[in-house]
Structure 1
């Protein structure tokens, strides 16, 4: 039986037999050797699903009494991406050293094989794992100071995991901050940038990733996509953590990030900050982890983590 390509971009191809081919960039292995002020290793969150993660720990962990924990969710439209990608590896390792925090970077299951809300569920499972594992690198972890972060689709996931933590009265960790970087939301209604002349290729790619990731039978007004359709109560919003939203000046999704920050303010979230990186594109920190803009972003992340 012949197979045909039913969805395609430079990053992913979905074939009619259900198989998926993904773009795989350069990757980096985990290493227990100290490098640039950090070391890292791969861990298993759930071997049956499977859910894995890469953990980064700074050299200061030897002397520090306790360290905050930053749980990071990679981007990729819910369909591609991995904590092993070279850009993520270097960005998060350097962030661990800069912010003097333990970073847990989660590899959740990807769509279209695993459509939403599976990514949300996998990533929430990583919070439970933090308290149930015998992982020695967590002996200095302060689980009353946990931050959720991620870029693009990972920023969307950070929001959803925060909501789950609020609703789970038995959540074993305390989320004190949510830090979405260029968060990925959407709706059936187009933004001005999406309707702008010259945006057709971005819109086409954007539509494809949402089509592949949202549940069957729904559109981009799905609650995991459209902020206005998220059913969250007033008491739940009152318990939402402090938020720092990063947007990039040249990002096709900048309007979505700004709208997210405004949405949280309207819902009464106690502290919402918006930080724009001028003259940079979507997830620049992954493509250029050694750039001056990335170093500044890491510094701003650290300042937020230590001043709330």
Structure 2
């Protein structure tokens, strides 16, 4: 998790009484965004959010739905306007970033990016709010996000916004930690014989992976601040007793047979030239190719940094990303 991206990593504020705070020490902090205290309490800071709207001035409408009230897991749906009412459309399930510890589909950047993407790709988009670490360490996020696939299939007959959903053309995407989640959800879908949706492709954006071994960028001069922030978010999210070779961090540690790898969907990995995590994304694409996954491609955004599409959802670079993603979805 690069320090340069933490400007948007804040979701809500959980007040801590002054009398209580004075007795605690802070054990982790991204200044101004998240604080974790010695008693396990967490303070997250407010970020500007967008409300859902059934009005559609930008060519789409949105609403919030409950995926699992017992956890809870929620999601925001985006439905594009289209006159092609008789046609079935693909479904894109999206997982937000934030080092598994912060983030929300309600943030302005995500709302506008995904709403516009639903229009560009003519897809129903389901953006999932999963439970966050450190209160809910991995693999909680994977399980929560996988439950969104169950929800889509079970609600197909009763949710009006899913009436035209083509469950044989479901795509998984997400940025940073969300790109990591997309990979893990795809594996769970391959292994789940009861899964009722067909994952046609993965579109991870600047995926967040790691390992005990440092990359060249992580060992470079001037990388200390980024490395420290990256290490902190992995400490917050990894299960107790696990190191950075945990399967959810190091994709090379997952145990899958050749037959399962042959059923892995097509993948396009998006990386950014100036991103501290770029090496991890490139290595991920190379790893999938070595495993025999068909249809693996890598797309680099020149002159761009980590999750630029969330910072600048209306930029020229973001519009290009939406076009590239739409082309991938519509070709599968």
TM (normalized to structure 1)? 0.98
120-129 or 4-13: bigger deviation: 4-13
Show CA shifts across 1:110-147 (max 9, x none).
00000000000000000000011221100000000000
- Distance verdict in 2 for CA 1:86–1:232, change over 3 Å: same
2:109 paired with 1:87 = yes
2:227 paired with 1:206 = no
Residue-pair matches, total = 308
Q: Identify which of 38, 43, 65 aligns with 2:60.
A: 38
**Contact 1:72–1:103 at 8 Å: present in 2 too?**
yes
Superposition pairs of residues 118-133 of structure 1, within 5 angstroms = 118-133=140-155
Which secondary structure does the structure 1 equivalent of 2:82 belong to?
A: helix
Mapped to 2, the partners of 1:183 and 1:93 lie a distance apart of 21
Which secondary structure does the structure 2 equivalent of 1:158 belong to?
A: helix
Q: Identify which of 247, 253, 267 aligns with 1:223.
A: 247
User: Could you say which residue in structure 1 is the equivalent of 2:176?
Assistant: 152
Mapped to 1, the partners of 2:139 and 2:147 lie a distance apart of 13
User: Could you say which residue in structure 2 is the equivalent of 1:135?
Assistant: 159
2:304 paired with 1:280 = yes
Show CA shifts across 1:163-200 (max 9, x none).
00000011010000001000000001110101111111
Show CA shifts across 1:2-56 (max 9, x none).
1111111132110112111113321000000012110000000000100000000
- Distance verdict in 2 for CA 1:14–1:237, change over 3 Å: same
**Contact 1:69–1:147 at 8 Å: present in 2 too?**
yes
**Contact 1:61–1:67 at 8 Å: present in 2 too?**
no
2:37 paired with 1:15 = yes
Superposition pairs of residues 45-84 of structure 1, within 5 angstroms = 45-60=67-82, 63-84=85-106
Mapped to 1, the partners of 2:92 and 2:225 lie a distance apart of 34
Superposition pairs of residues 148-297 of structure 1, within 5 angstroms = 148-297=172-321
Runs of 4+ in 1 over 2 A off after TM superposition: 61-64
CA shift at 1:61, angstroms? 6.4
Which secondary structure does the structure 1 equivalent of 2:100 belong to?
A: coil
2:134 paired with 1:112 = yes
Which secondary structure does the structure 2 equivalent of 1:273 belong to?
A: strand
Mapped to 2, the partners of 1:48 and 1:3 lie a distance apart of 31
- Gapped regions of structure 2 (runs ≥ 5): 1-19
Considering only aligned residues, what root-mean-square deviation do their CA atoms show, in Å? 0.9
Which secondary structure does the structure 2 equivalent of 1:150 belong to?
A: strand
